[in-house]
């Protein structure tokens, strides 16, 4: 017996017919309908049944140990394998594809074994995700489970049944590979049980709700949270925790630099000094960098831009709220400010968390995670393209009109006139080249992100569906609101111009 066929025979004592397979192709065969199922059996002209020929289908049966009926059916590969008789020129009749070689089959089996080995290794790696009820952290739970990891997740309140149910439903294997536990993220001792045996820690910061309810001071909240985390790593995760991944924000990059911004444009003080949240995120990253050196663990920082995309939990983002407000803009004023922002899909951020957790060279690095730079009117056009019934603005407002409107509507209390003067019409693009080249980060199309976000709003009832919006539309020219809106814009322009002139004197 040739060595190769002998090896195959060793896998199953019942496959003695493989010894005779080399004789099948020399016999003129006759196809007859299969008796027990779809397909055909092959017989000689003398009526002798022919055993299955040695081909890819047979080998798969051999390796799987399930060769119960090798002539089973066409949909199992009967006609696509080399069971069909060969023509005189060496090809198969009926245009059947060529059989893969034995080496190809063995290579595929080897590849499948390697993938199984990698997934089993990930299953032994435990990831701790802090604040899993948050907007991006909930997506991180889903992504790490999908990648095959064992996940532990902290929540503020375990009695929140809707949240816990949502987390356990993000993946089919969540019941087997996910543990959700209530942890006070401001106290290191609260991490004692859940931190032991953890290999990777992901912390996306403190949600606005937690900051307000706990301390009323976002900067202090983020500082205490990151200090408690690294104290817990030092006390309970020493020897097991290899890497900590924290999420900062693109607002940590200085706006003083000209042109596109990369990871080198780091600031010690947030460019948006009047905003507590950007300063809190910057403090969070800087304190994490300092403590990681002290504790002796690897640290990687992600700097996402404005995150949008469908939320998994009740918590959303400022970008999503802006998207919702734009969608319900007045249809009589189709203008938006010329402010341009950088956007990224929250699902891309969750995927980037896995990349930095798995990449050895990512330790000690910072990566910008940002996909697109868009003006408000460009976002509005994407909204209209996905759902034409929504009333998002599609045109840019003139420079001085935007300034006047911000002053008259009180928006200047949140964003200074000086900031608007410097930023209106300017595209400060965040460069994602480092993440794309080193981590192979990829970004979903922005039109898909916006469409998925709006679909979620409509499903939750915060935006009207198309038919409902059409039914409630006021006929053209029948409402005085149009003229009131135009008069309001004119008054805003005059008032804003007067304010600017008086401020210069």
The pLDDT score that the predictor gives to residue 255 is: 57
Q: What integer pLDDT is reported at residue 123 of this predicted model?
A: 61
pLDDT in tens, 130-152: 999 999 999 999 999 999 999 99
Mean predicted confidence (pLDDT) in 387-393: 92
- Give the model's pLDDT for residue 262: 87
Sign of the CA dihedral with 360 first, then 365, 369, and 373 last:
negative
Per-residue pLDDT band at 198 (split at 50, 70, 90): very high
As a whole number of angstroms, the distance between CA 100 and CA 104 comes to 6
Check residue 22 and give its pLDDT: 39
Higher pLDDT, 256 or 360: 360
What is the arithmetic mean of pLDDT over 12-38?
44
Task: Give residue 87's pLDDT.
Answer: 43
Contact 142, 171 (CB under 8 A): yes
Tokens of 66: 């399930």
Quickly state the pLDDT bin for 335 (edges 50, 70, 90): confident
Q: Give the model's pLDDT for residue 201.
A: 97
The predicted-structure confidence for 266-310, as pLDDT tens digits, reads as follows 766 655 555 678 888 889 999 999 999 999 999 999 999 999 999
For 124-473, the fitting CATH number among 3.10.310.30, 3.30.110.70, 3.20.10.10, 3.40.50.720 is 3.40.50.720
User: What are 401-455's pLDDT values in tens digits?
Assistant: 777 766 665 554 555 666 667 677 778 889 999 999 999 999 999 999 999 999 9
Q: Strand, coil or helix: what is 335?
A: strand
Is 445:274 a contact under the CB 8 Å cutoff?
Answer: no
**Is residue 243 within a helix (H) or strand (E), and if so which, with residue range?**
strand 243-247
Domain assignments of the chain as residue spans, ordered by start:
3-114, 124-473
Q: Which of 81-90, 110-119, 263-272 has the lowest mean pLDDT?
A: 81-90
* 70-83 average pLDDT score: 39
Confidence of residue 121 (pLDDT cuts 50, 70, 90): low
Query: What pLDDT is attached to residue 31?
Result: 56
% of the chain surpassing 90 pLDDT: 44
The SS3 call for residue 343 is strand
Instruction: Report which DSSP code applies to 456.
Output: H
Total residue length of the chain: 505
Reference 379, options 342, 416, 425; nearest CA is: 342
């Amino acid at each position: 017996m040739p060595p190769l066929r002998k090896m195959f025979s060793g896998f199953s004592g019942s496959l003695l017919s493989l010894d005779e397979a080399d004789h099948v192709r020399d016999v003129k065969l006759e196809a007859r309908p299969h008796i027990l199922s779809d397909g055909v059996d092959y017989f000689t002209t003398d009526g002798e049944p022919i055993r299955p020929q040695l081909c890819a289908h047979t080998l798969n049966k051999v390796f799987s140990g399930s060769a119960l009926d090798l002539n089973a059916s066409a949909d199992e590969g009967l006609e696509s394998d080399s069971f069909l008789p060969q023509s005189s020129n060496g090809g198969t009749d009926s245009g059947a594809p060529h059989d893969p070689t034995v080496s190809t089959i063995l290579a595929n089996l080897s590849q499948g074994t390697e993938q199984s080995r990698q997934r089993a290794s990930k299953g032994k790696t435990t990831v701790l995700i802090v604040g899993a009820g948050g907007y991006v952290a909930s997506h991180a739970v889903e992504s790490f489970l999908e990648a095959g990891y064992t996940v532990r997740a902290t929540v503020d309140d375990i009695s929140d049944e809707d949240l816990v149910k949502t987390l356990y439903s993000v993946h089919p294997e969540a019941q087997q590979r996910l543990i959700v536990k209530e942890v006070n993220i401001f106290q290191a001792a609260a991490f004692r049980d859940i931190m032991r045996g953890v290999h990777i820690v992901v912390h996306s910061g403190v949600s606005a709700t937690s900051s307000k309810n706990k301390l009323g001071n976002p900067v202090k909240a983020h500082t205490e949270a990151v200090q408690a985390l690294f104290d817990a790593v030092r006390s309970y995760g020493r020897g097991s925790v290899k890497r900590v991944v924290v999420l900062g924000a693109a607002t940590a990059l200085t706006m003083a630099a000209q042109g596109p911004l990369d990871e080198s444009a780091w600031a010690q003080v947030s460019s948006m000094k009047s905003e507590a949240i950007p300063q809190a995120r910057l403090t969070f990253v800087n304190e994490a960098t300092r403590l990681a050196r002290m504790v002796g663990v690897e640290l990687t920082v992600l700097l996402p831009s404005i995150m949008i995309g469908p939320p998994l939990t009740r918590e959303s983002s400022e970008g999503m709220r802006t998207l919702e407000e734009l969608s319900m803009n007045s249809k009589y004023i189709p203008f938006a400010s010329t402010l341009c922002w950088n956007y990224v899909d929250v699902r891309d951020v969750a995927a980037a968390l896995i990349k930095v957790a798995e990449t050895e060279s990512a330790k000690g690095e910072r990566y910008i995670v940002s996909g697109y730079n868009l003006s408000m009117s460009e976002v509005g056009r994407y909204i209209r393209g996905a759902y034409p019934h929504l009333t998002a603005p599609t045109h840019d407002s003139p420079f001085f009109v935007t300034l006047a409107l911000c002053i008259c509507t009180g928006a200047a209390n949140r964003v200074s006139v000086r900031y608007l003067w410097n930023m209106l019409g300017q595209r400060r693009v965040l460069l994602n080249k480092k993440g794309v080249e080193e981590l192979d980060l990829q970004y979903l199309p922005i039109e898909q992100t916006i469409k998925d976000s709006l679909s979620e709003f409509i499903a939750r009832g915060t935006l009207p569906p198309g038919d409902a919006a059409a039914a409630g539309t006021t006929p053209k020219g029948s409402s005085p609101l149009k003229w009131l809106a135009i008069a309001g814009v004119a008054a805003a322009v005059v008032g804003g111009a007067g304010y600017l002139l008086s401020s210069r004197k």
